[in-house]
Copies of this chain bind each other. A is one copy, B any other.
Amino acid sequence: MKICTRVSAAFLAAALMVGASHAVAAEPIQPIVVPDDLDLAQVELGKKLFFEPRLSKSGFISCNSCHNLSTGGVDNLVTSIGHGWQQGPINSPTVLNSSYNIAQFWDGRAKDLKEQAGGPIANPGEMAFDHSLAVNVLQSIPGYVDEFEQVFGTAVVNIDRITQAIAEFERSLVTPNSRFDQWLTGDANAISGAEKEGYELFKTLGCASCHYGPAVGGEAFMKMGLITPFVTDNPAQGRVDVSGQEADRYSFKVPTLRNVEQTYPYFHDGSVFDLNEAVDLMAEIQLGQDLSDSEVEKISAFLRTLTGELPAMTLPQLPPSNENTPKPEPFGP
Listed in ascending order, the chain A residues whose CB lies under 8 Å from chain B are 51, 53-54, 58-60, 65, 68-72, 75-77, 81, 84-85, 87, 261-262, 264, 273-277, 310, 312-318, 320-323, 327-328, 330-331
Contacts and interface: CB of A to CB of B under 8 A. Distances in A.
Main DSSP-derived SS at the A contact region: loop
17 contacts: A51-B70, A53-B71, A58-B77, A58-B81, A59-B75, A59-B77, A60-B81, A70-B315, A72-B320, A76-B328, A77-B328, A84-B85, A85-B85, A264-B320, A273-B321, A310-B317, A313-B314
Q: How many identical subunits does the complex contain?
A: 2
Given A59-B76, A77-B60, A261 B320 contact: yes
Contacts of A314: 312-315
A28 to B, nearest CB: 25
A316 to B, nearest CB: 6
A47 to B, nearest CB: 10
B70 A317 contact: yes
Nearest to A327: B273
Interface centre among A65, A264, A330 (most CB of B within 10 A): A330
A312 to B, nearest CB: 5
B276 A323 contact: yes
Interface centre among A53, A71, A276, A322 (most CB of B within 10 A): A71
Given A69-B315, A274-B323, A313-B315, 11 more contacts: A53-B71, A59-B77, A72-B320, A77-B330, A85-B85, A85-B330, A87-B331, A274-B322, A275-B323, A312-B314, A315-B315
A331 B76 CA distance: 14
Contacts of A68: 53
A81 B57 CA distance: 13
A242 B152 CA distance: 54
Across the A-B interface, the 3 shortest Cβ-Cβ residue pairs: A85-B85, A274-B323, A312-B314
Nearest to A51: B70
